[in-house]
A and B are shown apart, each in its own frame.
Chain A
Amino acid sequence: MTLESKIPAGDIATKWTQYKSTVPLVNPANKRQLEIIVVGTGLAGASAAATLAEMGYKVKAFCFQDSPRRAHSIAAQGGINAAKNYQNDGDSVYRLFYDTIKGGDYRAREANVHRLAECSTSIIDQCVAQGVPFAREYGGTLSNRSFGGTQVQRTFYAAGQTGQQLLLGAYSGLERQVGLGNVKMYARHEMIEVVKIDGKARGIIARNLVTGELERHFGHAVLLCTGGYGNVFYLSTNAMGSNVTAAWKAHKAGAYFGNPCFTQIHPTCIPVSGHYQSKLTLMSESLRNDGRIWVPKKQNDDRHPNDIPEDERDYYLERRYPAFGNLVPRDIASRAAKERCDAGYGVGQSKMAVYLDFKYNMMQKYGRTEASKLNIANPDDETLIRLGKEVIKEKYGNLFDMYKQITDEDPYEVPMRIYPAVHYTMGGLWVDYDLMTNVPGMYALGEANFSDHGANRLGASALMQGLADGYFVIPITIGNYLSKEIHTKPISTDHEAFVAAEKAANDRIQQLMSIHGTRSVESYHRELGLIMWNKCGMARNEKGLKEAIAEIQALRADFYKNVRIPGSINEFNPELDKAGRVADFLELGELMCIDALNRNESCGGHFREEYQTEEGEAMRDDENYMYVAAWENKGDTWELHKEELKYENIKIQQRSYK
């Protein structure tokens, strides 16, 4: 099977507009006869479900949480990009497109990214109309800030809770449709199997997590909006429940998995403090607007950070990347932190941390401005700190509180200690321009697909993609498929394909429950995470990846012999839910290593130690690897398919932020 990305012909700037006006449509009467299943209710899922229901389709939405409002999009902090150019600083759709492609280290699809940049402006309009309380200036206009990898201010935000506000907006739209009877909502349900009939996706098997019952659901199309798989690393900034299961079942049912090894390690997270740790907490990238990252110039310097004088501090990002400084993209900032810590300059008890220091900007940037507003000439340091602290508090108060809560240290007084942590996965199900996987009728939206961020995602772009896909892309592109399905009558869930899919799902559950081993699910997950982090994490090499593959295979075999799942099937049993998810991670982990091993280059978040410049920067191999690696599952092995990437509108060069 060849991969057809189905990118419409024409000039990149008008391609999407033209496509929108020529794509086949479904008339309103027919829409009411068509059923769409949406799995996941984060930004992509909630916005898609709401919008499709507004258009007249019959929608069924599923989420594993107790309410659609709890999807992990809610935890996104910093902001959402849009090429509004409200700041008059030279922003444009093209610039956002360019920044995103470059930020992704030239491994994203041009046409999709341009469309994303085009949709970005409408997203802000839509969210404001819904009542999302974005931050505003005194004049009543919207406020913006900067994020990594860009030189304009195009990030819209709502304090440090932008994801929450955007998701609640989409959720309110979704609930409105639930109230109107256009969406049927299934909370505490997990999709555990795809139903395919004549090669097309026709439904899912979902497990009611409260009763344990398996349910069959038919749909003319199935949309997977199930987020990323960062939890394969056990410790990540993802929610505890975030999982790959729905996407993985789709993959096993024939959908190709694109660039699985492209993982984003976020540079500013609170470091690990103990073995019992269950998750890592992000400190928003927006903090890098005002925080300066440094380590001591001396190795193993045990002095208190406030006792280390200015000239003994190494502001290594500003030193290495003077043009972007502390606002380099995430992959670069993360690697630089790891480099310093590995070289013995790390700080804190574990020595696996660097400082993020607000004192300079607190005093010199905000303190001085405020002092000048108050007509204080020659303010002393104390005054500057006092005045600057108020501004910092207003901008980042909730993040500072969160930091203090977790570490018991006051970041207004002492620099934050931060270290990179797994945050986002650029890889995901392979999709074409319509966001359809290679299985007809099955779509993947948001983080669950691979398409827009290449090998590294820029900050404030995930929210943008999720909402673009849900509000503005899928409502148009799905017509291309469903317009041909108007004669398909709803298929009875007694159809043999449903029966077979349910049996397969049931067999898997029975198998897990009959192991009766001795080790907890959690312990396997933790062990898998360690393998992944050490050998398929921020830096990878051939030897390590090969070892990892063997170790994962062994761990998986052990899992099916020794795992202990308490309780029974037909009840609320979170351990069983977790077991199913970890079983899928144990397969995905192997594929990620295989993909990382295959890609003999360094690009974005994928850093192969063998392929770096003398200065330690990622060295791409455009000649051999400028493609999307789309993996087809063949039982225990995988077959690689390649989608060549063509750059017709952007000149490819070595990514430089110096």
Chain B
Amino acid sequence: MSKLMKLNLKVWRQKNTNSAGNFEEYKVDASPDMSFLEMFDVLNEQLIETGKEPVAFDHDCREGICGMCSMVIDGRPHGPKQGVTTCQLHMRSFNDGDTITVEPWRADGFPVIKDLTVNRSAFDRIIAAGGFISTNAGNAVDANSVLIPKDVADEAFEAATCIGCGACVSACKNASAMLFVGAKVTQLSKLPQGKPERETRVVAMVNQMDAEGFGACTNTGACAAECPKQIPLSVIANLNREYIGAKMNGK
């Protein structure tokens, strides 16, 4: 059993969407083998035992794929390590005696529900606006009848690995959602199946993105640097290209 680390936490507490929030300080002992969320489990058990209210935070699969966990740790979404979600971040990335600041995703497009929990339904509405291929069950032709070059399939897959966590928005100084939108647009526009509606798709998705209150991209690259799935910045260029093309075609 590894030695326990003593940590000081500064955690954002906010009762609900409409109330103001503030930081509260806690002390917790953690094992280096714990995940960051397990450290929060320990904190919450402590709080419950002492009759205090536990910290509300989103989490589900705890293996880095559902995209539900969402903490900004010392100013960085999903913490200091690259290519991982908060649930995959282990305490061995920190040192004994550290003070760690934990906040929710902050963006007007993602209103806080409580403490570290935010509302990301804007992403669902963006997908509903156009992030799909319009095909009904039963329409499909044989899967091998459309040959897709391996590099195209791989590129589409790389973009498709987005988990919709929103780290890109939270990292961006403009709270822009373009990495998220770019990833979906790239996946679907690269594949032959997605080409027929590529123009209407990109325009609809960008319109919805703008309506949701996300900012414009200024290419700082913070989103891609913080993306736990390491979606590259090129998907935003691709989004821009698709969008300009569609617009110049009068869509």
Report A162-194 CB contacts with B as 1/0, cut-off 8 Å: 011100100111011011000001010000000
A172 touches B121 (CB 8 A): no
User: Which residues 151-193 in B have Cβ within 8 Å of A in the complex?
Assistant: 153-154, 156-157, 160-161, 163-164, 187-188, 191, 193
The answer to whether B148 and A278 have CB atoms under 8 Å apart is: no
- Docked-complex contact A131 and B187, CB < 8 angstroms: yes
**B65–A129 CB distance below 8 A:** no
User: Looking at chain B's contact residues, is the secondary structure mostly helix, strand, loop, or mixed?
Assistant: loop
Given A67-B124, A70-B67, A164-B161, A175-B131 contact (CB < 8 Å) = yes
CA distance A571 to B164 in the complex (A): 25
Task: Contacts A66-B68, A175-B132, A281-B63 given; indicate if A129 touches B193 (C-beta within 8 A).
Answer: yes
Give min CB distance, B84 to chain A, whole Å: 6
Chain B residues with Cβ under 8 A from A567's Cβ?
A: 53
Q: Determine the chain B residues whose CB is within 8 A of the CB of A523 once the complex forms.
A: 45
Query: Which residues of A from 135 to 155 have beta carbons under 8 Å from B?
Result: 135-142
Task: Report the nearest A residue to B34, measured CB to CB.
Answer: A276
Contact B157 A159, beta carbon cutoff 8 Å? yes
Instruction: Check: B20 CB closer than 8 A to any chain A CB.
Output: no
Q: Which of A540-586 contact B (CB under 8 A)?
A: 564, 566-567, 571-575
Taking each of B15, B143, B188, B194, which has the highest tally of chain A beta carbons within 10 Å of its own beta carbon?
B143
Whether B37 contacts A210 by the Cβ 8 Å rule is: no
Chain B stretch 44-76: residues in CB contact (< 8 A) with chain A: 45, 47-49, 51-54, 56, 58-68
What band does the interface of chain B fall in when counting residues whose beta carbon is under 8 Å from A?
A: 35 or more
- Identify which of A11-19, A47-55, A197-205, A213-221 touches chain B: A47-55
Asked if B61 and A575 make an inter-chain contact with CB atoms under 8 angstroms apart, the answer reads: no
Q: With A136-B153, A187-B124, A402-B64 known to touch, is A126 a contact of B38 (CB < 8 Å)?
A: no
Q: State whether B153 touches A131 (Cβ < 8 A).
A: no
Known: A68-B124, A408-B92. A136 touches B65 (CB 8 A): no
Q: Is B137 an interface residue (CB 8 A)?
A: yes
Q: Which residues of A contact B60 (CB under 8 A)?
A: 65, 70, 72, 239-241
- Residues of chain A within 8 A (CB-CB) of B86 are none
Taking a contact as CB atoms under 8 Å apart, the answer to whether A75 and B141 are in contact is: no
Number of interface residues of A (CB under 8 A): 84
Would you give the shortest CB distance from A5 to chain B, in whole angstroms? 25
Verify A240–B62 contact, CB threshold 8 A. Answer: yes
Question: B146: shortest Cβ distance to chain A, in Å?
Answer: 7
B92 / chain A contacts, CB cutoff of 8 Å: 408
Interface residues of B in 84-140 (CB under 8 A from A): 84, 88, 90, 92, 113-114, 117, 119-121, 123-124, 127-140
A239, B61: Cα distance in complex, Å? 4
Given A72, A84, A522, which contacts B66 in the complex, CB threshold below 8 Å?
A: A72
Q: Is the CB of B146 within 8 A of A128?
A: yes
Contact partners of B68 in chain A: CB under 8 A? 65-66, 70
Contact status A572-B88, CB under 8 Å: no
CB distance from A220 to the nearest CB of B (A): 21
Residue A369 CB within 8 A of the other chain:
no
User: If the complex has contacts A175-B131, A402-B63, are A210 and B38 also in contact, measured as CB distance less than 8 A?
Assistant: no
CB distance from B44 to the nearest CB of A (A): 8
User: Is B33 interfacial (CB 8 A cutoff)?
Assistant: yes
Asked if B143 and A210 make an inter-chain contact with CB atoms under 8 angstroms apart, the answer reads no
Query: Chain A residue with minimal CB distance to B149?
Result: A140
Is A321 engaged at the interface, CB distance under 8 Å to the other chain? Answer: no
Q: How far is the CA of A54 from the CA of B140 in the complex (A)?
A: 14
Contact B191 A133 (CB under 8 A): yes
Q: B248 an interface residue at 8 Å Cβ cutoff?
A: no
- For B1, the closest partner residue in chain A by CB is A274
Q: Cβ of B124 and Cβ of A564 under 8 Å apart?
A: no
Complex CA gap A653/B56 in Å reads 53
| B contact residues around A141 at 8 Å (CB) | 144, 147
Q: Evaluate whether A126 and B120 lie within 8 angstroms (CB atoms) in the complex, with A75-B61, A75-B65 already known.
A: no
Q: Are A128 and B143 in contact (CB under 8 A)?
A: yes
A615 on the B face (CB < 8 A): no
A130 in contact (CB, < 8 A):
yes
Assess whether A360 is interfacial by the CB under 8 Å rule. Answer: no
In whole Å, how far is B111's beta carbon from the nearest beta carbon of chain A?
Answer: 11
Judged by a CB distance under 8 angstroms, whether B150 is at the interface is yes
| Interface presence of A619 (CB below 8 A) | no
Tell me which residues across on chain A come within 8 A of B191, comparing CB atoms: 131, 133
**Do the beta carbons of B156 and A279 come within 8 Å of each other?**
no
The answer, yes or no, to whether B216 is at the interface (CB within 8 Å) is no
Q: How far is the CA of A240 from the CA of B87 in the complex (A)?
A: 11
The one of B45, B123, B156 in contact with A133, judged by C-beta atoms closer than 8 angstroms, is B156
Pick the contact of A520: B16, B49, B139 (CB < 8 A). Answer: B49
- Which residue of A70, A279, A405 contacts B84 across the interface (Cβ within 8 Å)? A405
Whether A142 and B144, one on each chain, are in contact in the complex, defined by CB atoms closer than 8 angstroms, is yes
A134 close to B (CB within 8 Å): yes
* Chain A, 69-89, CB within 8 A of any chain B CB: 69-70, 72, 74-75, 84, 86
Distance from B152 Cβ to chain A, minimum over Cβ atoms (Å): 8
Cβ B65 vs Cβ A571 within 8 A? no
Residues in A neighbouring B123, C-beta threshold 8 A: 67
What are 10 sample pairs from A and B whose C-beta atoms fall under 8 A apart? Answer: A128-B146, A129-B135, A164-B163, A173-B135, A179-B129, A240-B61, A276-B38, A405-B90, A566-B47, A572-B16
Show the binding face of B for A, using Cβ within 8 Å: 1, 15-16, 31, 33-35, 37-38, 41-42, 45, 47-49, 51-54, 56, 58-68, 83-84, 88, 90, 92, 113-114, 117, 119-121, 123-124, 127-144, 146-150, 153-154, 156-157, 160-161, 163-164, 187-188, 191, 193-194
Binding site for B on A (CB under 8 A): 47, 50-51, 54, 65-70, 72, 74-75, 84, 86, 122, 124-142, 158-159, 161, 163-165, 168, 171-173, 175-176, 178-179, 185, 187, 210, 237, 239-241, 273-274, 276-279, 281-282, 401-402, 405-406, 408, 471-472, 475, 518, 520, 522-523, 564, 566-567, 571-575
Q: Please give 14 more A-B residue pairs, beta carbons under 8 A apart, in addition to A130-B135, A210-B113, A274-B34.
A: A65-B60, A66-B120, A84-B144, A128-B146, A129-B140, A131-B193, A133-B157, A140-B147, A164-B161, A239-B61, A241-B60, A274-B31, A276-B41, A278-B38
Nearest 9 pairs of A and B residues by beta carbon: A140-B147, A179-B128, A172-B132, A125-B140, A129-B140, A133-B157, A175-B128, A128-B143, A176-B132
